Structure 1
Amino acid sequence: MNERKTSHLNYPDLWEKWKEHGDLEAKKKLIENYLYIVDYVSSRLAIGLPRNVSKDDLVSNGTMGLIDALHKFDYQRGLQFETYASWRVRGSILDGLRQGDWVPRSVREKAKKIEEAYQHLEQKYLRTVSDAEMCEYLGMTEKEFHHVLQEVAVMSLCSLEDPIREEESETRMSILVDEKARNPDYKVNESYLKESLIKGIEKLTEKERIVVSLLYYEDLSLSEIAEVMQLSPSRISQLHSKAILRLRGSLEKQRDLLLQND
């Protein structure tokens, strides 16, 4: 039965030696064979990050995530290790970035200000608000608004990986990935959050929805999305920032409503 489940897995002999016999040489070879995942994920995340963020640091944190994935992966379940490892590597890199406090406080404050503005205006008008309406509310010119979006773009890479609330461990991305069965209470909350996220995505502009879809579901980089949509990378970065800030505001609003009804 195990042979049937693992027949599609790359390097089955190495996996068996490592998992069943604790063969460290097999583990080393698996790490070497899957290092390309670290390079790919770190290269994607490096796009748009400040120059002071070292690619070597991204790779180092990503490698730790890969090693963690090798320890936790159940090779007999018939799952693709590459997919599982990509999430672990990405999460490890983002954890390292957060711990390094790489986003200046001023940028976080600007992001929060825009997020709250989206939340307030879209609740007021019950529709997607335009850049012009945002500029008027924030007291900015359109050029200044786009400049701020470019600044907070480096922060939005972590947005769906951050806790929904600072005191909680549950993340926005966790509601998109069903890794294993949860208890009934969690499933109810998960279902509610998924519904909230769907509603938030529906409020995005068409271009913002395309960017979110291509980035998070088609696994394209921002530069690749720019080519597909025939827009500049900076414009794609702005669309991504707006989409994430809208979604954050939408989820916060729905979360507050849920808490009020409890």
Structure 2
Amino acid sequence: MRGFRIALARAARSRSLAELQTAQRRRPSDLAQRFSHLAPAPARPSFGIAFDIDGVILRGRSPIGGSPRAIRRLYYEDGTLKIPFLFLTNGGGVPEHRRALELSELLGVNISPAQVVHGHSPYRELVHRFEDDLIVAVGKGEPAVVMSEYGFRKVLSIDEYSSYFRDIDPLAPFKTWKVGQTDSNMSAKVHPSYDVYTERVKGVFVVSDPVDWGRDLQVLCDILSTGGLPGSEKGDQPPLYFAADDLEYQVK
């Protein structure tokens, strides 16, 4: 019995020695691959970064200083995100996915729409309240497109809405310039026709800075003072939301 135990121990030692010699003959890469599942995963950072855009990362469409290089340091070499970050700006007027594409092009990294927070991004939280109501979107850029992509189903830009009322802008005959908006060119594709003469506006959303302040103020006063239907009897005032009540402009 004792001899059997000794033989068994010798066999075990011989097997261990053979495995060790085999392992020593393996290439280092083979060993690394074999035990790669034992390597600790990179620790997740305990912080994130929020960047402003204009005046910090970009000036117009031009990167400021070494901002592209600084942003690239937040990624691993394979392009995956090392340090979580987002862009937080009170600007807007375009959908977040379009701004993400623009930033990706200018900074040379892959920016996802989830990393872009505009001043109007919180409007998404109000979709359940106004989803099927007629609302008016105000501001430069494409305010109605922005709101439609959030899930609001019945949206008109203030350009579109005011075009239904011939005399709603008393200063229109004196204006020699025309506002070049893009919403009106896309409205046929994005919005169905609404009977604005009978349906009341249930909410007004200032998405970005207006272009024609005088007209927009007049139209908003008519909407709010009549309960959402200019020219009608007064009703309950619809709510007015501002994405960013910033009336100061930076001079280059």
TM-score by length of 2: 0.26
More relative contact order, 1 or 2 (CA 8 Å, 6+ apart): 1
Structure with higher helix content: 1
Structure with higher strand content: 2
